């Protein structure tokens, strides 16, 4: 997690902690999409821009937005080869999420911060629900029972599967990890199902989801992302 906080806002929030809704409610925005579509890059470009603006911005990710979550991330995305049942995998993602919500997301929203999260519940729906075949209803039900927060806005970066996977592989090579991560090692067909899962999710909740064309240069995508978050979440409103 990284915190992007301008000095005047820091003093203000620190001195007078607020309940959400009293002076501007926090916003919860998530970035989703298949491996290599550009989520992390786009969030870092947004972070660089928002850092200079008034308000508190919390950039975080799943899995791994807390200390406990980072331990779970090692298990979930590491290269360990122990077989695991899809439901066992699902429960670990949910454990990461519950901890993340308690420790990071809810407190930040209560302070009135904008929380930008690299993957969240919709990733679980697309990967474990659709691509692994557990279905949406089981995960929807778990989310309801656990009281998981729904994002205000979800951007899905939409990119050709082959292109996204080739970018992810090249990134891994540049980072010196030639071996593929757990999900990058899946067949292309698996990633097609993940993408289909995201499209189904967007179709069932068109108010919350926005599909973003992730083709073109990073700057071109950043400009689309910027105007969407400005339009849908008022993120660049200086009065915030």
Within 53-92, which residues bind ligand ATP (CB under 6 A)?
Answer: none
- Phi and psi torsions of 101, nearest 5°: -65, -45
Pick from 6, 40, 99, 103: which binds ligand ATP (CB under 6 A)? 40
Give Rg (Cα) of the chain: 18
Helix (H, G, I), strand (E, B) or coil at 152: coil
Stretch touching ligand ATP by CB under 6 A, among 37-45, 103-111, 187-195, 232-240: 37-45
Q: Is 169 exposed, middle or buried (0-12, 13-18, 19+ CB in 10 A)?
A: middle
CA dist 6 and 240 (Å) reads 12
> Least distance to Mg ion from the beta carbon of 126, Å?
15
CA distances from 150 to 111, 127, 143, 156, 202 (A): 17, 18, 9, 15, 14
Which CB sits closer to ligand ATP, 25 or 171? 171
Query: Quick one: which segment of 108-116, 192-200, 204-212, 213-221 binds ligand ATP (CB under 6 A)?
Result: 213-221
Cβ closest to ligand ATP, residue 139 vs residue 225: 225
Q: Is residue 225 within 8 Å of residue 43, measured between CB atoms?
A: no
11 or 223: CB nearest ligand ATP: 223
Minimum distance from CB of 123 to ligand ATP (Å)? Answer: 9
Q: Any residues with CB less than 8 A from the CB of 191 and at least 6 apart, and which?
A: 34, 35, 131, 161, 164, 165
Segment (H or E) for 87: helix 86-100
- Residues 147-176 within binding reach of ligand ATP (CB under 6 A): 167-168, 171
User: Does 217 participate in binding ligand ATP (rule CB under 6 A)?
Assistant: yes
From 38-46, 104-112, 193-201, 230-238, span contacting ligand ATP (CB under 6 A): 38-46
Q: How far is the CB of 81 from ligand ATP (least distance, A)?
A: 19
Give the shortest CB-221-to-ligand ATP separation in angstroms: 5
Task: Round to whole Å and give the CA distance between 103 and 100.
Answer: 5
Please give the residue ranges that form the binding site for ligand ATP (CB under 6 A): 33, 35-41, 167-168, 171, 217-218, 221
């Amino acid at each position: 997690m990284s915190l992007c906080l301008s000095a005047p806002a820091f003093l203000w929030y620190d001195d007078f902690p607020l309940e959400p809704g009293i002076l501007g409610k926090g916003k919860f925005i998530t970035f989703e999409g298949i491996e290599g579509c550009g989520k992390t890059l786009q969030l870092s470009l947004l972070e660089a821009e928002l850092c200079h603006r008034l308000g508190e911005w919390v950039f975080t990710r799943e899995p791994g937005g807390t200390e406990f979550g980072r331990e779970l991330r090692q298990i979930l995305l590491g290269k360990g080869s122990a077989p695991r049942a899809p439901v066992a995998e699902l429960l670990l993602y949910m454990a990461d999420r519950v901890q993340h919500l308690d420790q990071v997301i809810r407190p930040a929203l209560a302070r009135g911060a904008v929380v930008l999260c690299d993957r969240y519940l919709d990733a679980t729906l697309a990967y474990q629900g659709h691509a692994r075949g557990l279905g949406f209803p089981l995960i929807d039900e778990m989310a309801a029972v656990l009281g998981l927060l729904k994002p205000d806005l979800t951007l899905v970066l939409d990119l050709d599967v082959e292109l996204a996977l080739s970018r992810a592989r090249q990134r891994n090579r540049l980072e010196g990890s030639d071996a593929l991560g757990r999900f990058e090692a899946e067949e292309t067909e698996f990633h097609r199902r993940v993408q289909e899962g995201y499209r189904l999710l967007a179709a069932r909740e068109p108010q919350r989801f926005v599909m973003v064309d992730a083709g073109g240069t990073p700057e071109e995508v950043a400009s689309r992302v910027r105007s969407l978050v400005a339009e849908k979440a008022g993120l660049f409103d200086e009065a915030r």
